[in-house]
Amino acid sequence: KAGVTQTPRYLIKTRGQQVTLSCSPISGHRSVSWYQQTPGQGLQFLFEYFSETQRNKGNFPGRFSGRQFSNSRSEMNVSTLELGDSALYLCASSRDRNTIYFGEGSWLTVV
Amino acid sequence: AQSVTQPDIHITVSEGASLELRCNYSYGATPYLFWYVQSPGQGLQLLLKYFSGDTLVQGIKGFEAEFKRSQSSFNLRKPSVHWSDAAEYFCAVASPGDSNYQLIWGAGTKLIIKP
């Protein structure tokens, strides 16, 4: 059974640009959540989607957004990138919301 | 509000020695409890979880954890570590049934294995 797949794995963007990250959940999992991981702040919850609806949201500015498609695949978007957005962005999927399984992450560097 | 404390930022253990990583949480009732492991440059892998029942939980890779309600702890143990166990370990808690269900994470403990 394939795990959570995230693309791209690595990317470099310039301040002010925008970025879109993609996540394909484990087959049969309808919940997708996103986390940001940085050395200073650790793991922080961004948002969760279920059946194409945002079900929960963390404390991030509106520049961070996401969506989920009918096949449960999800994308997150960060607009007007700042240096502080450099991080590992992790996607996780869940069948029952209680136990989440992570992908390998997308490493974003903002220069 | 829930919180998770992993008091040890780094732990160094000799290969073959036993290991215990500490995790304390703050929550009014019995939370859902998790341990994840992250190897360098990788995502997080679920080692084990506790929802209810037997307070000693067995996980993958020979790890186990014990839920102690009186101490609000969920410490991770392994009887004999291998060099491949070098990684960062994260404890997390969640509130069962919470409409805003999300995992609250500890800061992580980096495990260093001495040959």
Per-residue pLDDT of chain A (111 residues; tens, 9 = 90+): 679 999 999 999 999 999 999 999 999 999 999 999 998 889 999 999 999 999 999 999 999 999 999 999 999 999 999 999 999 999 999 998 788 999 999 999 999
Closest Cα in chain A, distance from residue B91 (Å): 11
Mean pLDDT across B96-107: 87
Tell me which amino acid residue A65 is: S
Q: Which residues of chain A lie closer than 8 angstroms to B46, CB-CB?
A: 99-102
Question: Which residue in B36, B40, B113, B114 sits closest to B76, CA to CA?
Answer: B36
Q: How far apart are CA B60 and CA B8, in angstroms?
A: 22
In this structure, what are the phi and psi dihedrals at residue B84, rounded to the nearest 5 degrees?
-70, -10
Q: What does the pLDDT read at residue A54?
A: 95
Phi-psi region at B61: left, alpha or beta (left = phi > 0; alpha = psi -120 to 50): left
**Mutation site for B-interface testing, chosen from A102, A104, A106, A107 by largest number of B Cβ within 10 Å:** A102
CB B25 within 8 A of CB B45: no
Say which amino acid occupies B105: W
Are A58 and B108 a contacting pair at CB < 8 A?
no
